[in-house]
Amino acid sequence: MSVSEYKRALLYRKAQANVCKNDYFNKIQSFTNDTVVGGNFLTLEETDNIINSLKDKKINSKIKVEIDSYQQLVEFIKEKVAGLSSYLLIDEEWKFCGMYKISSEFSSDYNFD
């Protein structure tokens, strides 16, 4: 993708953010049980850079983890990232609004419906 195509795509995504922003904020608030702070959003460029760097990484693990429910998944994640900041990406809205940085606990009873 050329620079001008990327810039055009960014403009489109930023415009789409205005459409889905309220829903995304509500989802974040439900997930974190906390007020959404505008300064915790990464720019779309920063979000893209992180996603692209993660795509290039290879992570090999020989540990097999069996997870049967969302609650088990949340507890597993909480254990691994305890005390660390994390990035939250919910549904498709993050592509338009950017990643949201959280440093607090998140809800283990979030309703994905």
pLDDT digits (tens, 9 = 90+) for 34-83: 889 999 999 999 999 999 998 888 877 778 888 888 778 878 877 877 77
Q: Is the pLDDT of residue 22 over 90?
A: yes
The DSSP call for residue 63 is -
pLDDT over 80 at 111, yes or no: no
Is the CA virtual torsion 63, 64, 70, 71 positive or negative? negative
**Residue ranges per structural domain of the chain:** 3-102
Residue 87: strand pairing partners: 101
Least Cα distance to 104 among 80, 84, 76, 89 occurs for: 84
pLDDT (0 to 100) of residue 109: 63
